[in-house]
DNA sequence: TGTCATCTGTCATCGCGTGACATAAATTGC
DNA sequence: GCAATTTATGTCACGCGATGACAGATGACA
């Protein structure tokens, strides 16, 4: 790796760290791009050559994590059911947090704290997650042997994402607490879901049950509700 | 209602309609606030007195719907389980779509199409939804007699929101298709969830099982997974 | 060393959003 | 109907985020 690339990398992490620290100390909105650039002693224009937006400073790490998650998911054995594969991938990623460089780990925790305390960034991370939902869905549908429009595939992804978001819900603190929260939610899901719920229905062999019969919506309100009341 | 208020209301809906139409015809990003204001023949500054941002033009209707949803949820009978109350409220709101003024209905459908075809707006709507999650959670927890930090309450809300988002997932088209999709997802949820899953666990009487034992996270990866593999 | 590619700074520009202030309009009281 | 008050609107100025264009500085390579 040449001097040039090393210099670039140093500048990028310098901007990243400066940005995160400024965001945390004086607030995300109150911090201007000019300030970040000045801190690293580069021009504002140069800042935008490293980060496409101010937001990206706060979200590039989570974005990378998502990429890594998708890559890891793709390598889970086919024998695992879709939801199991998702859950185990999540657990593996979580475990990776603990064997991290001290500076990298603290950076990640800072970013977590930052996002958590900034409504605009919470929304942005949500956007990230939703943006990747499509790819997650594709992988789940592939494992189920269905098309991505399959409602059950969507349900599996939605439930998993719901769990993930609920995980972010409170306390970032330390990786251990996060993992604990993750496992608690998992146990709860086990209590709530029927075994095999994430496997494709064996009776319907067709590859496209995506659009359901709209006539079902004409049922009176009180009638269809029993399906979930139990 | 005085002349003044009528005039204001007319200006607001004029800006709203002009904005939606311009967004749809030439794209959201490509449309400037100046254009919208010019279309209604008011100054740019005045536009911002009616809408706090360009985004709000596209999202004020969904925002109002969310408020209405929360109000309707609060009035569901206590006898309904949390998830049932959520589902029936959703169904009732969906039914309301059909008895709407022609111009209001077409506006709503336009907004749906607009959001669906604009990634930035999809994200923004997601932000709206997440922003209201807290209030939804409060109501669910109240019905369960638990605190909002209760994981089961969070699961209930998450599953419901996941269903809602999956509903938005594809085809806006007509209200009937939307309702059909809603009911299909509902039926699928019935297949996947155990009866009574949304009721508070009877054994744990304490009001605060929010934070789980972090020690559980120390289990080897392969062991805890069986809880969902079944 | 000299040539080439690439990174960087400066400048200009656009769009979104806001505060301040003056003007025009509607509302109220007489 | 007219004056006094309230309130909506327009104009101006400004800050911030983001982008394109161009010239100069710096590392890469023969």
CA B206 to chain centre: 31
With a CB-CB cutoff of 8 Å, which residues 169-188 of chain A face chain B?
Answer: 169-171, 176-177, 179-188
A14 CA → C7 C1’, Å: 16
| Chain C bases near protein Cβ (<7 Å) | 6-12, 14-20, 26-28
Chain A CB within 8 Å of residue B211 CB: yes
The SS3 call for residue B193 is strand
How many Å apart are CA B193 and CA B191, to the nearest integer? Answer: 6
**Class (C level, CATH) for A55-194:** mainly alpha
Residue-wise pLDDT tens digits, A64-114: 999 999 999 999 999 999 999 999 999 999 999 889 999 999 999 999 999
* 24-83 on B, CB < 7 Å from strand D: 41-46, 49-50
Residue-wise pLDDT tens digits, B24-57: 999 999 999 999 999 999 999 999 999 999 999 9
Name the most confidently modeled range: A46-60, A202-216, B156-170, B173-187: A46-60
CB contact under 8 A, A183 and B212: yes
Q: Which two tokens stand for residue B73?
A: 């949820």
CB contact under 8 A, B180 and A122: no
Chain A CB within 8 Å of residue B194 CB: yes
Please tell us whether the domain made up of B1-51 is placed in CATH 1.10.10.60.
Answer: yes
B171 CA → C22 C1’, Å: 50
The SS3 call for residue A194 is coil
Chain A CB within 8 Å of residue B192 CB: yes
DSSP conformation letters of A122-164: HHHHHHHHHHHHHHHHHHHHHHHTS-TT-HHHHHHHHHHHHHH
User: For residue B190, with 0-12 CB atoms within 10 Å meaning exposed, 13-18 middle and 19 or more buried, which class applies?
Assistant: middle
* Pick from A87, A196, A230: CB nearest B195: A230
B193 strand-pairing partners: A193
Residue-wise pLDDT tens digits, B98-123: 899 999 999 999 999 999 899 899 88
How many Å apart are CA B35 and CA B18, to the nearest integer? Answer: 9
Are A80 and A145 in contact, with CB atoms under 8 Å apart? no
The SS3 call for residue A193 is strand
Q: Kindly state the average pLDDT of the residues B79-104.
A: 94
Going from the C-alpha of A113 to that of each of A13, A162, A163, B122, B213, the distances in angstroms are 18, 20, 19, 25, 22
Own/partner contacts of B184-190, CB < 8 Å, gap of 24 or more, are B184/A151, B184/A212, B184/A216, B185/A151, B185/A154, B185/A155, B186/A224, B186/A227, B186/A228, B186/B87, B187/A212, B187/A216, B187/A227, B188/A151, B188/A152, B188/A155, B189/A155, B189/A227, B189/A228, B189/B159, B189/B163, B190/A227, B190/A228
A193 strand-pairing partners: B193
pLDDT for the residue numbered B216: 31
Hey, of B119, B183, B189, which one would you mutate to test binding to chain A, going by the most A CBs within 10 A of its CB?
B183
Residue B46: nearest nucleotide (C-alpha to C1'): D9
CB contact under 8 A, B151 and A126: no
Q: Taking the domains of chain A in order of start, what are their residue ranges? A: 1-51, 55-194
pLDDT band at B226 (very low <50, low <70, confident <90, very high): very low
Going from the C-alpha of B91 to that of each of A82, A210, A224, B100, B158, the distances in angstroms are 30, 20, 10, 16, 17
Fold adopted by B56-194:
Tetracycline Repressor; domain 2 (1.10.357)
User: What is the three-state SS of B80-125?
Assistant: CCHHHHHHHHHHHHHHHHHHCCHHHHHHHHHHHHHHHCCHHHHHHH
| Chain D bases near protein Cβ (<7 Å) | 7-13, 15-21, 27-29
Residue-wise pLDDT tens digits, B172-181: 667 788 888 8
CB contact under 8 A, B159 and A162: yes
């Amino acid at each position: 790796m040449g001097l040039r690339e090393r210099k670039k990398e140093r500048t990028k992490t310098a901007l990243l760290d400066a940005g995160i620290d400024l965001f945390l100390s004086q607030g995300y909105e109150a911090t201007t791009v000019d300030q970040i650039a000045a801190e690293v002693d580069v021009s504002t224009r140069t800042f935008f050559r490293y980060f496409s937006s101010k937001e990206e400073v706060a979200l590039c790490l989570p974005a990378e994590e998502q990429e890594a998650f998708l890559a890891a998911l793709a390598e889970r054995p086919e024998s695992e059911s879709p939801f199991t594969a998702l859950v185990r991938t999540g657990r593996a990623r979580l475990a990776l947090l603990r064997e991290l460089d001290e500076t990298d780990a603290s950076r990640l925790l800072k970013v977590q704290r930052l996002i958590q305390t900034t409504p605009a960034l919470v929304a942005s991370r949500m956007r990230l997650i939703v943006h990747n939902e499509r790819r997650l869905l594709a992988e789940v549908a592939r494992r189920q042997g269905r098309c991505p429009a399959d409602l059950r595939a969507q349900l599996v992804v939605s439930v998993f994402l719901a769990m993930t978001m609920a995980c972010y819900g409170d306390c970032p603190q330390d990786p251990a607490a996060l993992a604990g929260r993750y496992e608690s939610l998992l146990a709860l899901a086990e209590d709530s879901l029927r075994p095999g719920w994430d496997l494709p229905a064996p009776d319907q062999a067709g590859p496209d049950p995506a659009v359901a019969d709209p006539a079902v919506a004409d049922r009176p309100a009180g009638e269809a509700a029993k399906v979930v009341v139990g």
